[in-house]
Chain A
């Protein structure tokens, strides 16, 4: 069978599966629409959380990023897994005990204030929108490469699918499609990795393979360090960023992960507190399978790439080289007209530009794996992008129908009315996401990474203090969130878009990059919250009792 037929087959089967699940799990009440009736098993919720969490970026871009960054790429590996420890220990059990539908629910009730609720809604919307636009773009990219349709058509197809199951099934539909999507994406990620690991090192476990010897008896990592140095790049296993910056970026990604509303809300869908803890454990285990494999793929791909192209004749390049050249993601410019590819760090001499996103997608072709593996990878990438997009859209729609309409604007709305409002907001959220997918504002790519900084700087302190510090009051929490969010927005727009006079890396405060600044803004948030809290009066007895109640899993 040709590659094209395989791809249509794989995508056809997986998409029918998602749509079938959506019809089977149609939501009938707001409770089912927002939190799947709080009846999801910890194992299913763990898988759904993992799929929700691992986006097109984790699936397509991360291994590629690491393969170009080497040690510096560790910030993503530790940052995007370590946050689950915080989530499992500091947030999930207590938020589940609190037992409402959304993050603004918690902030609004715990801080007995609609102002606090409104600030939380704004934070949730800013974070989710920046994030979802990137996902739709990812869907479009995959479709355009593999189905040979235009990127925009790809985005529209993706929108139609997400629209169908998010609007119909709500959280219930999303949860069970995410379970299916996790299975598809992890299988698609692991199969090529295992094949390549066997090819290069003889070891079928990629996590061990990249620390083993290659066929020439030299440790793969030593070889890659040598190759990198010869070509003028920094040594693969050591970094080029400052330790302080690596520290701050890792912390911002970890804390941001724990503060992302679409991840937190997944813990409202299980039956009880102990299930919330269990599902955090399952989730991290499922995520860790991909996250420990990614650095192995990075090493295999990088070594393979250098050995295939460096100092080789352009005319003798394999077919995949032409395929990816056509997409514009790979380009060769023969500067010295010798017909040989010079791939080096020095920009004056270097003749090959490689978009990091192709490393995972082109890997099976570079390693000459069979067609069905390549088709599987396409289905996996789509599963990753769609599952995350759906989770985010649900946060957007519940922020509007539940937090804004039901809790602030029109508290007497009927259950049926609220459900209709939820579906309408989901519908418009999909349209907006699609619009940004088709017309990506230049800032999307830059901002997706910064969504973590925003989550860390705004939500995390308010939630943690709300649980662990009874004395925390609304004045403290609101001022902390507002200042944290504004400070992060200021720093990000200053150094990313050149507002407020702009600046270069020379002007970074204490040498902290915008990606790592979320940690700094979070610390400021904590300080402001605590200072303001002590200058104003303590919360009422009822609120303090509420805090004591959420700390204990039992109901009496």
Chain B
């Protein structure tokens, strides 16, 4: 891979990281901790929403984030002919 392509590849990777880590921070530290009192006023089934994010929702989102990253990076690898 030439230098220019390597740079572009890396820049795209960083873009993905910023977006995914923002979501990571929002669902755990945001919804599960900082905004918990506000969210706890809503309920889904027997769960208060903030409590649900802290003990269930954030974990599901974490799994989805990694899966998304795998798909995005596999696509990027393909675009730059990385095997």
Contact = CB atoms under 8 A, between A and B. Distances in A.
A83 to B, nearest CB: 9
A77 B45 CA distance: 21
Interface string B7-20: 00110010001001
A85 B45 contact: no
Interface string A362-374: 0000000000000
A275 to B, nearest CB: 10
B66 A292 contact: no
A46 B45 CA distance: 33
B59 A291 contact: yes
B9 A552 contact: yes
Contacts of B29: 247, 250-251
Interface in A269-308: 274, 277-278, 280-281, 284-285, 288, 291-292, 295
Contact of A71 (B34, B54, B59): B54
A274 B66 contact: no
Contacts of A210: 46
Contacts of B10: 551-552
A89 interface: yes
Given A553-B77, A554-B82, A288 B51 contact: no
Nearest to A93: B73
B60 interface: yes
Interface string A204-217: 00011011110000
B8 to A, nearest CB: 11
Nearest to A223: B46
Chain B contact surface mostly: helix
A77 B51 contact: no
Interface residues of A, number: 49
B46 A89 contact: no
A246 interface: yes
Contacts of A323: none
A278 B70 contact: yes
A109 interface: no
A212 B60 CA distance: 19
A541 interface: no
B17 A89 contact: yes
Nearest to B3: A548
A538 interface: no
Contact of B44 (A211, A247, A552): A211
Contacts of B51: 71, 74, 221, 237-238
Nearest to A281: B66
A213 B46 contact: yes
A85 B44 CA distance: 26
B56 A207 contact: yes
Nearest to B52: A211
A277 B54 contact: no
B66 A84 contact: yes
Shortest beta-carbon contacts, A-B, top 10 = A219-B46, A74-B54, A211-B46, A554-B82, A295-B55, A211-B47, A211-B45, A281-B66, A237-B51, A88-B66
Interface of A: 66, 71, 73-74, 77-78, 81-82, 84-85, 88-90, 93, 207-208, 210-213, 219-222, 237-238, 243, 246-247, 250-251, 254, 274, 277-278, 280-281, 284-285, 288, 291-292, 295, 548, 551-554, 556
